[in-house]
């Protein structure tokens, strides 16, 4: 059956443009439109769509308020349309907190042009999110204790072919390798290939393994998953954390700031030269790549995005870098997301004997990225999101 879509936007141009782009796909059926938040709520209740595309700024009731009401009264998957500005990023993060699953940039020039890449991105997101199934959707982003029992339709696996020529020679450990280059005032903030283990019970004591760094990769659904995990990690967590979330440049700074406000650990958007530090998470900046500095393995290097790579930032690139720098002393976690970014990097990590965990299908918004790693036989363990929260949140020095 086709994905039923409700289009919500105060702009007649965008309502018609989105409808035209979606109507050309046999997997999608546009069942209605609305020009403000109040109409969106009425139409959501009457039409029961599988997915709503939601504008942010609208008269009478804006998109964020509409999302909150819809999540409370008739839970529905929602894709936000947002401008690529700091303000657009801020309100989009608020919409994700309210219950929206994902977002797409609203760049007038791109939407006016006959862009095949935009059309494909929109259609693929609509189909993937529209086929996700609810079980009484709750606001998991703003409520870390909420259940992760939703079940989602899996996505086909396709291996991402990228160049992972990241040189970062391993350097010896020193007693001060995790020294911070900037004070955070007021905050303390091993190679045999094996089949993936079916659940956390197969991982013995369910504890964070001995490692030098924890690296988490995510995409669609990642903001909610990261929030749920990071808010439960104690300030005295003994490892540095690197985060690679598919986000545009304007969004990562806002997202890192929001997480820092919510978490006991310190969270910041990574900058070139940042030191790895226990109890601090560094988020890869949008439009760039984050690797371990080849000259000093206790520091981060930020590189410009490479147009040859689909994702900027890319989980594959960061995974490959930490594999070369820290070998088996890495815990890599792959979370919800479309596509297969992280699979090639996970293969390099496995060759070094690192530990790789994947989020299970049942708790993923989109199962693509974890599924690619699991199907390739690279995951040491497969966990529900709430289990990852429990394991990482219970670790102490």
Tell me the per-residue pLDDT of 344-359, one tens digit each, with 9 for 90 and over: 999 999 999 999 999 9
What DSSP state is assigned to residue 269?
Answer: E
Q: Indicate which residue of 341, 344, 380, 384 is catalytic.
A: 341
Same topology, domains 3-130 and 200-393? Answer is yes
Q: Indicate which residue of 246, 298, 321, 363 is catalytic.
A: 246
Q: What is the CATH number of domain 200-393?
A: 3.40.50.180
How many CA atoms lie less than 13 Å away from 250 in the CB half-sphere?
15
What DSSP state is assigned to residue 152?
Answer: B
* Span of 138-142, 260-264, 361-365 with lowest mean pLDDT: 138-142
Annotated catalytic residue 219:
yes
Report the distance separating Cα 380 and Cα 74, nearest Å.
38
Q: Indicate which residue of 148, 219, 314, 325 is catalytic.
A: 219
Percent pLDDT > 70 in the chain is 78
Helices and strands in the chain: count of H runs, count of E runs? 12, 14
Tell me the per-residue pLDDT of 179-204, one tens digit each, with 9 for 90 and over: 333 333 334 443 333 334 333 333 44
Q: How many C-beta atoms surround the C-beta of residue 37 within 10 A? A: 26
Q: Considering the chain, what is the average pLDDT of its residues? A: 82
Please determine, for residue 51, whether its predicted confidence score (pLDDT) is greater than 90. yes
Annotated catalytic residue 25:
no
With beta carbons less than 8 A apart as the criterion, state whether 255 and 93 touch.
yes
Annotated catalytic residue 293:
no
* Rounded average pLDDT over 63-88: 90
With beta carbons less than 8 A apart as the criterion, state whether 251 and 281 touch.
no
Extract the tokens encoding 42.
């009425």
Question: Where do the domains of the chain lie?
Answer: 3-130, 200-393
Tell me the per-residue pLDDT of 140-179, one tens digit each, with 9 for 90 and over: 444 444 333 332 223 333 333 334 444 333 333 333 322 3
- Range 3-130 has CATH code 3.40.50.2300: yes
């Amino acid at each position: 059956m086709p994905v039923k879509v409700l289009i919500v936007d105060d702009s007649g141009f965008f309502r018609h443009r989105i409808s035209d782009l979606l109507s050309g796909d046999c997997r999608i059926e546009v069942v209605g439109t609305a020009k403000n938040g109040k109409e969106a709520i009425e139409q959501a209740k009457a039409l029961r769509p599988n997915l709503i595309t939601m504008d942010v700024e609208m008269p009478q009731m804006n998109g964020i308020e509409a999302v909150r009401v819809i999540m409370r009264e008739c839970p529905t998957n929602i894709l936000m349309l947002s401008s690529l500005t700091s303000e657009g990023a801020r309100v989009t993060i608020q919409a994700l907190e309210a219950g929206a699953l994902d977002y797409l940039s609203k760049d007038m020039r791109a939407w006016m042009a006959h862009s095949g890449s935009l059309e494909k991105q929109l259609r693929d997101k609509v189909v993937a999110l529209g086929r996700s199934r609810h079980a009484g959707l709750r606001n998991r982003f703003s409520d870390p204790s909420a259940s992760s029992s939703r079940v989602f339709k899996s996505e086909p696996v396709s291996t991402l072919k990228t160049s992972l020529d990241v040189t970062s020679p391993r350097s010896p450990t020193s007693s001060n390798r995790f020294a911070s280059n900037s004070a955070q005032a007021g905050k303390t903030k091993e190679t045999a290939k094996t089949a993936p283990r079916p659940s956390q019970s197969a991982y013995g004591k369910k504890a964070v393994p001995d490692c030098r760094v924890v690296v988490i990769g995510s995409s669609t659904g990642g903001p909610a998953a990261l929030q749920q995990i990071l808010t439960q990690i104690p300030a005295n967590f003994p490892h540095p954390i690197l985060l690679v979330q598919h986000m545009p440049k304007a969004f990562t700074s806002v997202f890192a700031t929001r997480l820092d406000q919510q978490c006991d650990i310190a969270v910041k958007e990574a900058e070139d030269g940042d030191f790895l530090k226990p109890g601090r998470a560094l988020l890869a900046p949008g439009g760039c790549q984050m690797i371990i500095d080849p000259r000093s393995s206790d520091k981060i290097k930020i590189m410009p995005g490479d147009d040859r790579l689909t994702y900027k930032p890319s989980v594959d690139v960061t995974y490959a870098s930490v594999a070369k720098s820290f070998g088996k002393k890495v815990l890599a976690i792959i979370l919800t997301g479309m596509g297969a970014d992280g699979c090639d990097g996970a293969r390099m990590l496995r060759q070094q004997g690192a530990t790789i965990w994947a989020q299970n299908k049942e708790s993923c918004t989109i199962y693509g990225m974890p599924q690619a790693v699991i199907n390739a036989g690279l995951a040491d363990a497969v966990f529900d999101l709430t289990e990852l929260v429990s394991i990482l949140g219970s670790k102490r020095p």
